[in-house]
Structure 1
Amino acid sequence: MNRTILFETERLECATWNEGDRALAFALWGDHEVAKWISSKGFLSEDEVEARLTQEIQRQKEAGVQYWPLFEKESEVFVGCCGLRPYSSEEDMYELGFHLTRDHWGKGYAQEAARAVIGYAFDKMNVKALFAGHHPDNEVSRHILIKLGFEYTGDERYEPTGKMHPSYVLRK
């Protein structure tokens, strides 16, 4: 695979999205079981997946961050994405997020990747705090954020789902 690796964990390589990743983006965000946590309709259309990929590529160019694609080191199989996006400019705060393909749920990849992204944000980018939120029905994401040391700060409306999402902050 011809990719630039941003950083690695014990089992994963973190790269950047590019125009040739349409099939990977669709395998992730086109899956209704994944999209139900991030969309009010419970799915993303092909155009919406395409727009999401374009947005991630653009964010990397403009802000130097994105929800970076993750690959298993051993097999080079795509497992999902984990990364950052600007959240609050006044506080120099970024939002942490992760989305995994369904066949990689329950293997500890989200927590492993998130730990690496947190380290990247605090050590390489010198970010002071990270925000994270999750769908109110997603207990797995809640559990991961708590294990990572995030503290619950209240509920916040998340436009893409139209729901109040539990929200958390992790300070350096």
Structure 2
Amino acid sequence: MNYLLENQETNRLVFRKLNPSDFENWLPYHNDTEAIEFYNNGKAPEEACKQWFDEQFLRYEQQSGGLNVLIDKKSKAIIGQCGLEPDANDPNKVVLRFALLPKFRDKGYAEEALQLCIKTAFDTMKIKALFAYVSPADQEREDIFSELGMEWEDTDIVNHTIVNIFKIKK
């Protein structure tokens, strides 16, 4: 199933597919040591950003969902990415993910985008449960998922990283 939310909108955001031309706008995310502590995994920011893009384009090609670029309606700026995708180890699980550029954090964008993802997943796609994987060190992200009604389910190792697993059911 394709979990992409292309052309969806919230009050402040438009969802669209990632484009190769977005690379320079997204590179600052990979320069933010707090955000990419686990993702970059020792790679240079440019290499990690290229890997990020390759992963998203592969998901688009496979029509399995992936992250959508979040565009601020007023400024037309890229503020982050958010979306739904199948779990790499269990395709029956759908994972909720988001990432915001540093200057757009703590402004409610994550919650706004994630709420649309959850609503669309449950109401339109008829998904019964969503999961989120969070580093135990990332309290801010855990708080965001908790505020959205997700509950801690387990701690496990995903992609060689210890994560707390959050879940929300319809």
Write the distance in 1 (CA, Å) between the matches of 2:125 and 2:56. Answer: 18
Write the distance in 1 (CA, Å) between the matches of 2:163 and 2:85. Answer: 17
Q: CA deviation at 1:32?
A: 2.5
Q: What residue in structure 2 maps to residue 25 of structure 1?
A: 26
Write the distance in 1 (CA, Å) between the matches of 2:111 and 2:93. Answer: 20
Q: What residue in structure 1 maps to residue 166 of structure 2?
A: 168
Unaligned 5+ runs, structure 1: none
1:32–1:44 CA contact under 8 A, matched in 2: no
Write the distance in 2 (CA, Å) between the matches of 1:64 and 1:109. Answer: 24
Establish whether residue 35 from structure 1 lines up as the match of residue 67 from structure 2. Answer: no
1:109-157 CA distance string (max 9 Å, x none): 1111000111122222221211101111111111111111111111011
The TM-score, its normalising length taken from structure 1, stands at 0.86
Report SS of the residue matched to 1:106.
coil
Q: CA deviation at 1:12?
A: 0.9
Establish whether residue 84 from structure 1 lines up as the match of residue 84 from structure 2. Answer: yes
Report SS of the residue matched to 1:114.
helix
2:64–2:86 CA contact under 8 A, matched in 1: no
1:94–1:129 CA contact under 8 A, matched in 2: yes
Write the distance in 1 (CA, Å) between the matches of 2:77 and 2:118. Answer: 23
Aligned residues: 164
Q: CA deviation at 1:5?
A: 5.3
Write the distance in 2 (CA, Å) between the matches of 1:44 and 1:157. Answer: 24
Taking a change above 3 Å as real, the CA distance of residues 85 and 5 of structure 1, as seen in their structure-2 partners, is: closer
Q: Percent identity?
A: 26
Amino acid at match of 1:48: A
Q: CA deviation at 1:85?
A: 1.4
1:93–1:127 CA contact under 8 A, matched in 2: no
1:40-82 CA distance string (max 9 Å, x none): 43x6531221121021022022134111110111111111111
Report SS of the residue matched to 1:126.
coil
Q: CA deviation at 1:163?
A: 3.3
Write the distance in 2 (CA, Å) between the matches of 1:34 and 1:168. Answer: 19
The TM-score, its normalising length taken from structure 2, stands at 0.87
2:134–2:141 CA contact under 8 A, matched in 1: yes
1:37–1:138 CA contact under 8 A, matched in 2: no
Task: Kindly report the root-mean-square deviation, in angstroms, between the aligned alpha carbons of the 2 structures.
Answer: 1.9
Q: What residue in structure 1 maps to residue 53 of structure 2?
A: 53
Q: CA deviation at 1:102?
A: 0.5
Write the distance in 2 (CA, Å) between the matches of 1:17 and 1:132. Answer: 21
What is the correspondence of 1:82-121 to structure 2 with a 5 Å cutoff?
82-87=82-87, 88-89=90-91, 92-121=92-121
Amino acid at match of 1:126: K
2:134–2:163 CA contact under 8 A, matched in 1: yes
Write the distance in 2 (CA, Å) between the matches of 1:116 and 1:28. Answer: 22
